[in-house]
Structure 1
Amino acid sequence: MPSDAVLYQAAALCLTYPDDDFRARLPLLREAAPQLREFADHAALTPAEELAAHYVQVFDSGNRRILYLSRWHDGDTRRRGMSLARVEDLYRAHGLEFTGEELPDFLPAVLEFTSRTGDLDLLAEHREALARLRCHLADFGTPYASVLDAVCATLPAGS
């Protein structure tokens, strides 16, 4: 288990749709992952409807802030299907079966996988995409940028 396992799990929660379960976990998230306190405090102080609307505005509008990692590299090409299958194979190789409603390359799913297995390969492989996403979030002026700041700070330097 990597030393950043709690951070990855907490970041996964931060990057999912802010439903009632999300709001209930904010106090624990704030204490467990100090790197995410700024975001957790923002989320706790923002009315639920406003936070949900902001999430949709940030992540459901175009490709510049998309949470599907293979889209950053493969776009909507056939190659993307192969990338998704490879991610599912990696999950299976670690004894995990992907059963989420989202695709297996959904960043919160990849963060949860990394938290549970300690395998940084997917995050490291998509380091450039994560950095670009972080920049787009910062340019948009959303507190979600601080979540990507924390995740990107844990990744090994590129080769």
Structure 2
Amino acid sequence: MSPLPATIPALVRTRVRAAVRRPARLTPEETAGRALTLRLVSLLLQYPDSELTSARPELTAVVEALPATPGAEHLARFTGWFAAQEPEALERHYVEMFDLRRKSSLYLTYYLHGDTRRRGLALLTLNQQYRAAGWSTDGGELPDHLPVVLEFAALVGPGGGEAPLRRHRRGLELIHHALTGSGSPYRHVLAALLSLLPPPTEADRAAVARLVAEGPPNEEVGLDPYGTYGEGEFAPPATFVPPMPAPPTRVPLTPTSRPEGSR
């Protein structure tokens, strides 16, 4: 997009840019298909426990029945790999990619705020947004865990529901970059998600490059999202400690949530 004239007030320029990047109005069928894709991405980014691995044939069938889109192609590539792996190998790979590497953690506010006090406020704001929409995470995970954010987006819809995804676009780009650099098939799941969002701006690309080089912001005293670390202690400086994962709440793929032809 070419630069807007400097004579236009800053507020107007901001609104024009937002209008340009805003997705076109979707039909009910497109909205339902988008919600299904978001739910699939949410499921596939959860820890591959026995319940999820036992559902691999069903997940593969649902992905194969999606309309032909770049996102569906990426999901098909992932489920092809996912279905062929031994459960133990999937568990090891998931832990290595998402629990042991700071640049592919699934906790989105970390990329925007790092280990700073602002992260706690961001988590509180996100929780309040969920409650205002009449949705509760039941305390099973932090509100910025990507599968949780995706489920909210699927339930509420492309406007307010997807706002947290757009807000954390740069963090999503960094996760995708890290997974791609590691050669992880999970890069296809992130690519499917990114295909639903507006294209990144030059500012987005520059910010991601800085995150790759420098990492997220940090304070001299590392902080847990709610102010403490471990048994009430502060984390050492520059330490990234992702919260302990809790069993996620899944929304099953019921017959009414599947696209025509997936049965």
With structure 1 as the length reference, what TM-score do the two structures score? 0.94
Q: Comparing 97-106 with 28-37, which one deviates more in the overlay?
A: 28-37
Decide whether the 8 Å contact of 1:6 with 1:32 is kept in 2.
no
Q: Indicate the RMSD between aligned Cα atoms, in angstroms.
A: 1.4
Matched, 1:15 2:50: no
Q: Comparing 12-21 with 98-107, which one deviates more in the overlay?
A: 98-107
Distance 1:89 1:158 in 2: 27
Shift of 1:43: 1.3
Decide whether the 8 Å contact of 1:137 with 1:145 is kept in 2.
yes
Pairing 1:1-159 to 2, within 5 Å after superposition: 2=31, 3-34=33-64, 35=72, 36-118=75-157, 119-158=161-200
With structure 2 as the length reference, what TM-score do the two structures score? 0.58
Alignment coverage as a number of residue pairs: 159
Q: Where does the alignment leave 5 or more consecutive residues of structure 2 unmatched?
A: 1-27, 65-71, 202-263
Q: Which amino acid aligns with 2:46?
A: T
Query: Residues 57-87 of structure 1, C-alpha deviation per residue, up to 9 Å, x if partnerless?
Result: 1111131111000000111111111000111
Q: Which amino acid aligns with 1:60?
A: D
Determine which structure has greater relative contact order: mean sequence separation of CA pairs < 8 Å that are 6+ residues apart, divided by chain length. 1
The structure 1 segments of at least 4 consecutive aligned residues displaced by more than 3 Å after TM superposition are: none
Q: Comparing 27-36 with 5-14, which one deviates more in the overlay?
A: 27-36
